[in-house]
Each structure stands twice: as structure tokens, then as C-alpha cells.
Amino acid sequence: MTDEDIQRGIEGDPDARNTDAAFWRNARIVAPLRKRPVTLRLDADLLSWFRLKRGYQTEINAVLRAYMAAHRGKRSAGLRKRAARRLGAAAE
């Protein structure tokens, strides 16, 4: 594939946008959340199923994150405040 082929592909992609100086002037660097090692007891068959796929720990994290997002509004404000305080203390 030539540079010209790549350029034509970019120009033909409706999701590709030019990133000019104005775009980068307002851009922010956002660091990903740090992962912390934990000990977690899981059913053996559940763990075996996840381990069939490469990157299973990342997959478990994604499943838990999706669950959290789906249930975020169902938690009481008090629980959210306590969790935020714990996360803030852990970051220090």
C-alpha cells in the first residue's frame, strides 16, 4: 500500500477528521486509571471460561466496568461519596 493509497483511504473515511493547530490547542492529555492488584475469589468454571481468551484480566475488568456503568444510577449518594473518598485517598 502506497502513501497515496493511505491518503485516499483517509479522505474517503467519514469518521476521519483533519487535526489542525486549533484542534491540538484545545486537546488535553488524559491519563488512564491505574489498575491495582487485588485478590478475588471466583468460581473455578467462571475463571476457566475467562482464561480461554488472551487478556482475560482486561476482559474481566471490562465486564465489571460495564456492570458498574449499567448500575451507576442505582447506588445511593452516600455509597458514591464513600467510594470517591476511598479512591481519592488511594491516589495520594
pLDDT in tens, 1-21: 899 998 888 888 888 877 888
Residue/partner pairs of 19-28 with CB below 8 Å, 24 or more apart: none
- Give the 3-state secondary structure of residue 41: coil
pLDDT value, residue 46: 97
Q: What is the pLDDT of residue 23?
A: 83
- Cα gap 71→66, rounded to integer Å: 9
- Segment 44-91, tens digit of pLDDT: 999 999 999 999 999 999 999 999 988 887 765 566 677 777 777 655
Computed on alpha carbons and rounded to an integer, the radius of gyration of the chain in Å comes to 21
- What per-residue confidence (pLDDT) applies to 52? 97
